[in-house]
Amino acid sequence: MLIAGNWKMFKGAHEARQFATTIRHLPERLAEVDVVVCPPYPSLEATIAGLGESGVRVYAQSVHWELEGAFTGEVSAPMLLEIGVKGTLVGHSERRQHFGETNETVRLRAEAALEAGLEVIACVGETAEQREADETQDVLKRQVSVLPVHDRLVIAYEPVWAIGTGLTATPELAQEAHAFVKSLHDAPVLYGGSVKPENAASLLEQKDVDGALVGGASLDALDFEAICQAGQAAATSA
């Protein structure tokens, strides 16, 4: 069971380090849960320092496909590895929506990160318009088909209409989407889309839901721990 917290553009270095000290013991208490946090770039080292010898792993929120070069604003996999980062997100819907991310650039980022030795959570999911037009499966096919097969790759299904909106897919809808993604790719699949302590248990107990990619709720230590506890309960009852 993997629970990953995506901090987005929150928590500068000082706050990130303090927060890390409050969650550093989660793996000791929740043996069935792999805990990951994804701080913004300037807070990566501070988070790693705050975690110390903790089993919580630190991921970046994106990575470039080249090892180095004239790519202003981008960060390479070797740069992340050098400071102790273990993995990265790729293809988050906000990257697709606001920064022109495409299926092809998601593939390039994922392949480069995996080749360099990073773990990868690759995000896929449909918009409200695509779901209303009954295009969900076609969208997922296109997004998943470009992803490499690798034992360090995890897929996160994040219905775009449920991100930051307070809306959440029903457990049954999440299960259906996860089963479909797994029919396309042999990788664990996380659910992402307004996961909160109140709905985590019902989502995580679904047969094909292997964890959660948590947004806003991961910014609060108590909420994040509650979701991790729901993951522990789901893993031990499976």
Query: Residues with catalytic annotation?
Result: 92, 158
Ordered by where they begin, the domains of the chain are 2-237 (3.20.20.70)
Query: pLDDT tens, 13-64?
Result: 999 999 999 999 999 999 999 999 999 999 999 999 999 999 999 999 999 9
Query: pLDDT tens, 140-179?
Result: 999 999 999 999 999 999 998 777 676 778 999 999 999 9
What is residue 83's three-state secondary structure?
Answer: coil
Give the number of C-alpha atoms closer than 13 A to the C-alpha of residue 58, restricted to the C-beta side. 28
Indicate whether this model's pTM tops 0.75: yes
Q: Check residue 163 and give its pLDDT.
A: 73
Give the number of C-alpha atoms closer than 13 A to the C-alpha of residue 107, restricted to the C-beta side. 11
Q: Report in angstroms the alpha-carbon separations of 216 from 178, 180, 236.
A: 22, 26, 26
